[in-house]
Chain A
Amino acid sequence: MTNNLASLVKARDLLYMLTWRDIHVRYKQSIMGLFWSVLMPSLIVGAGVLVRVGAAQFSGTKITAEDISSVMVRAVPWSFFIAGLRFATSSLLVNSNLVTKIAFPKEVFPISAVFSNLFDFLIATTVVVIVMFATGWHPTLHALWFVPLMIVLIALTVSLSLILAAANLFFRDVKYLVEVFLTYAIFFTPVLYPAKMLGEWQHVLMLNPIAPLLEGIANSVVLGEAPDAFWTWYSVITTALLLWAGYGLFKRLESKFAESI
């Protein structure tokens, strides 16, 4: 394990260049690049607002600016998560000529695929921050929770990416399963609605390791409250276990990549 990590550290220039390449090529090819990075979050926010309006109608309350902010700060990390996962799942096949021809730690492909989506994420985040300030947002110090919670979310995305990228190399239809799964996963995650909307069932929802992270981000950034300690630790530990298992699995299968692709 230590050997593997050392070689990954050695490959940091490669990780940087591959991430840079993906970002650069994406933005070079399309003037739509910037628009693209806010398109998906915008659609999710639109859907979220619709759900909130529906819920407000039903309970006879009014929708507030906070409700909309809450949807926005959940939508942006979520769209990073699904874009990263989608991109990473096919990363080994897309780079198959490098996988079969050159020796270096292959985890740089899924990891750089996730990292390159951070660029879109930063642009979308900037837009959200501007919109929130415009609608009278007063951040508290708790808003800083955003950073550690995002780091956990990135780690979670990487861990799942490692597993799915390796799986997709051996079974080409994993990609389609991931697509189907990601399309409906939004309903099992508190993105469009807050977890508390489910009342006593919210704990079942929180078993999804992304749920506490999105809840924590919305609570700390929008409401100015600390994230729930128990569920945040649950996410952190689940992520650590997944990362350990995903990395272990990836390294174990790595030597078979070149002959199986």
Chain B
Amino acid sequence: MSDVVLRMDQVFKKFTKGERHDSLRDMIPAMVKSMLRRGPKAQDLKNDEFWALQDVSYEIKRGEAVGIIGHNGAGKSTMLKHLSGIMRPTSGRIDVYGRLSALIEVGAGFHPDLTGRENVYLNGVILGMTREEIRRKFDEIVDFAGLGDFVDTPVKRYSSGMHARLGFAVAAHLEPDILVIDEVLSVGDYAFQAKGIAKMRSVVESGATVIFVSHNLGAVVGLCERSLLLKNGKLLLDAPTPEVIRTYMQQISAVRSHTGDKGITIESVSLGDEAAPRLTFRPGEQLEIKVSLRASAPVRKVSCVLYIKDKQYYTIFNASPDRLGASLLDLEAGETFSYTFALDLHLAPGAFHVCIALLQHGTGRVLDVVEPAATFLVESDVDLGGAANLYPRLEVSDERQGVSAVLTRQAAQS
């Protein structure tokens, strides 16, 4: 026996888009119609079909933590549903060796009228635990969720954060051989997310295999050495996580969405040197962001706002030319204009997004917005949390030894 715990071998999955007949009332006339029509029209159906997964093959070994990255609709969820056995492939083979638990939704099956205690049992058995197992771990689960006295309150009175915490707490106590997680960390406050990631890391360290799907690139980097990049149902890249994220980010910049033409549009946003755009930076480095604009109609008093957001799309910084001393922008139809912002990246390691919005000064009307316009990674030798980098230095006074040492680890300089 090799130590492969999960294998997908040339997996294809066909989906049909468009209208499905989901009532007999619709279907029987449709069947009669198609019988009467017959002939070359049989080809019509094929047009509605598309590959949700196309020739996907990979292996995962015991103890590996693998991230799955891709845009919405790339096939991530479909892939997870195949791994967990909810869906079967159109062709190809999927082999799973060991107990696999899939966490595709936090708190699945919670019933609002039941109490927290009752829902722990219900959710636990739904996720594959036995009642005996839950009884043993019950206190630990409630403790992890931080519910306190609310354990006998109906779940419908819980805040959404409590709801999510309880759901994750149950799931975190599963002890599977293979744990598949989809986006569960996008809920809860920061402290709980950190707790969740720590729990998952301990799952990995205990020798279990983890498959992790997330838009939270920072979490993927922190947890998974290897990642798979999916695009339109195809496995584009199977490589170490940093390399996969780099490829993914280059694609993000390519598919940004505009809100439609309202007189002025953002033509391009580039980081650093336009010829060789960079994706990773060290803390303290300077980042140049060039924004090019084009007017299709005369516009007056436009403010170009730059946002830096963290991986949760929470704004950690914003600035605009008018607040930096420049005048508001007036453009005639067909004119172009560009700004270059220079920033010092006093940021903690992680993924950050650059977003640009064009606002009508005074009314605040949004003329164009690109989110994210670009994404960059801050990499550092020191592991720090949060968004800001306060360059911590540490003095350790160990009185038992009678020595005092100052440890200075400046979080990198270029």
A interface residues (Cβ-Cβ under 8 A, vs B): 13-14, 16-18, 21, 24-25, 28-29, 95, 97-98, 100-104, 170-174, 177, 255, 258-260
Contact = CB atoms under 8 A, between A and B. Distances in A.
Contacts of A171: 21-24, 27
Interface in B67-112: 81, 84-88, 102, 104-105, 108-109, 111
Contacts of B21: 171
B105 A101 contact: yes
Nearest to B80: A101
Contact of B114 (A21, A95, A174, A177): A21
B122 interface: yes
Contacts of A14: 125-126
Given A21-B114, A102-B127, A259-B15, 7 more contacts: A14-B125, A14-B126, A25-B113, A101-B86, A102-B105, A172-B22, A255-B87
Contact of B122 (A21, A172, A259, A260): A21
B88 A102 contact: no
- Give the top 7 A-B pairs by smallest Cβ distance, nearest first: A255-B88, A103-B85, A173-B23, A14-B125, A103-B84, A17-B125, A101-B104
B323 interface: no
Contact of A172 (B23, B104, B114): B23
A103 B122 contact: no
B97 to A, nearest CB: 16
Contacts of A102: 84, 86, 102, 104-105, 108-109, 126-127
B46 interface: no
A102 B20 CA distance: 23
Question: Among A18, A170, A172, A259, which residue has the most Cβ atoms of chain B within 10 A?
Answer: A259
Given A17-B121, A103-B85, A97 B108 contact: yes
Contacts of B24: 171, 173-174, 177
Contacts of B104: 101-102
B126 A24 contact: no
Contacts of A95: 109
Contact of A103 (B27, B102, B121): B102
A65 B360 CA distance: 86
Interface in B318-367: none
Given A21-B111, A103-B86, A171-B22, A258 B81 contact: yes
B131 interface: yes
Contacts of B84: 102-103
B25 interface: yes
A255 B363 CA distance: 53
Nearest to B133: A13
Given A13-B130, A173-B24, A258 B122 contact: no
23 contacts: A13-B125, A13-B131, A17-B131, A18-B122, A21-B111, A21-B114, A21-B122, A28-B113, A97-B108, A98-B126, A101-B104, A101-B105, A101-B108, A102-B105, A102-B108, A102-B109, A103-B84, A103-B102, A172-B23, A173-B25, A258-B81, A258-B87, A259-B87
B83 to A, nearest CB: 9
B240 interface: no
B122 A98 contact: no
Contacts of B108: 97-98, 101-102
Contacts of A101: 86, 104-105, 108
Nearest to B21: A171
Contacts of B128: 104
Contacts of B102: 102-103
B118 A24 contact: yes
A102 B22 CA distance: 23
B131 A25 contact: no
A100 B80 CA distance: 11
A35 B125 CA distance: 31
B22 A170 contact: yes
Nearest to B83: A103
A174 to B, nearest CB: 7
Nearest to A28: B113
A25 B84 CA distance: 29
Contacts of A21: 111, 114, 118, 122
Interface in B30-83: 81
A89 to B, nearest CB: 14
Given A98-B109, A173-B25, A104 B126 contact: yes
A74 to B, nearest CB: 32
Nearest to A258: B86
B123 to A, nearest CB: 9
Contact of A25 (B85, B88, B114, B127): B114
A259 B22 CA distance: 12
A16 B121 CA distance: 11
B144 to A, nearest CB: 21
A178 B84 CA distance: 33
Contacts of B27: 171
Nearest to B81: A258
Contacts of B130: 13
Nearest to A169: B22
B135 to A, nearest CB: 11
Nearest to A255: B88
Contacts of A259: 15, 87
Interface string B284-312: 00000000000000000000000000000
Contacts of B121: 17
A260 B108 CA distance: 19
A170 B102 CA distance: 25
